[in-house]
Amino acid sequence: MTTDATALFLQSDEVADLAEPAEYVDAVREGYRQRGEGAPATPRTTLFSDEPAGMLTGYLAILPDTGAMGGYTYAAGFSGRDAHFTLPIFDADSGDPLAVLDGASMNPHKTGAAGAVGVDALARRDASDLAIIGSGAQARGQVRATATVRDFDRIEVYSPTADNRESFAAEMNDALDPTVAAVASPAAAIEGADVVITATSASEPVFDGDLLEPGTHVTAMGQYHPEKNELDATTIERATYVPDLRERVTQDAGSFINALDAGVVDEDHVHAELGDIVAGNASGRQSPEEITVFDSGGTAIETVAAGHMLYERAKADGRGEEIDFAPASKALTGR
């Protein structure tokens, strides 16, 4: 008779202090390497509700070398007007459940790590000036992770609310070595920037692509809906364009879809997936003057990679609550 499998249930606060930003980046980079070598991953599937307004989103990945597979599911909005994240992790060999994580505390870190892997793969090695547009939790995660892959001297932050950008600058000045300054416009942030990160919920472009200087790298992480385009068509047209998953560029990569609709690019404008570059199967930056874009819409690659790392550390530290899962053979036969 098949016995129940035992997994760990890990609350958000149980995993919040288990890893530093650089460790998230290492785990996520390894996940993208596996994707570049053929690891399966699917774009997000999102179901929308009008009344009450909200969405249910999920995506999947198998990372065979990590030994983990899983899916990230979250509900956002509805009558609670909030979001909740769940992540089941399974053993990639046996299929047994290993853990179920409350993904709240890890969310900005794993998303920031994906952005940092994109910066590491595509930005100039001598990049020293970082611009961030956005000042929320995701912006904080992006900056903390990206600061581990380049030696920045200066960081400029812009968001529409002065108090928000000022508090962001003060917090990051305390946390990071580079000087962090709040600026009054996107143009002021982008001027002189070697790396630009957009971390917003905007439905319209947040800066003018004509302002990008040659050699700039852009990481955009608000590109997960066909009608959301943080980046304008000019930016997409000027750039070597790299998505996290090629399959999603015409599904929900809003900026790329907008550029397609404007007629300035076609689907051949997609250079390669990030994983192809990390695995060495496609080129990254080819010249100091090249403008590059990493479109980070969100995948289970970074989520499963980060979640499995946290699971292993929590298990070693004796954290979490053991829960039993009945195998299907037992559940369906009652034996």
Q: Give me the CATH number covering residue 249.
A: 3.40.50.720
Residues 74, 202 within the same domain = no
Average pLDDT of 119-124?
A: 98
Domain span at residue 47 reads: 5-107+300-333
Overall pTM > 0.75: yes
Number of domains in the chain: 2
Choice between 97 and 227, residue whose per-residue pLDDT is larger:
97
Residues 142, 256 within the same domain = yes
Give strand pairing partners of 61: 41, 70
Residues 283, 141 within the same domain = yes
117 inside domain:
no
Residues 183, 81 within the same domain = no
Residues 232, 147 within the same domain = yes
114 inside domain:
no
∠ CA 108-111-117, nearest 5°, is 135
Residues 164, 31 within the same domain = no
Peptide bond between residue 52 and the one before it cis (omega within 30 degrees of 0): yes
223 inside domain:
yes
Is residue 220 within 8 Å of residue 200, measured between CB atoms? no
Token match 């249930």: residue? 9
115 inside domain:
no
Contacts of 95 (CB under 8 A, 6+ apart): none
φ, ψ for residue 81, nearest 5 deg:
55, 40
Per residue in 263-298, pLDDT (tens digit) is 999 999 999 999 999 999 999 999 999 999 999 999
Contacts of 92 (CB under 8 A, 6+ apart): 62, 63, 64, 66, 67, 68, 69
Q: What is the pLDDT of residue 118?
A: 98
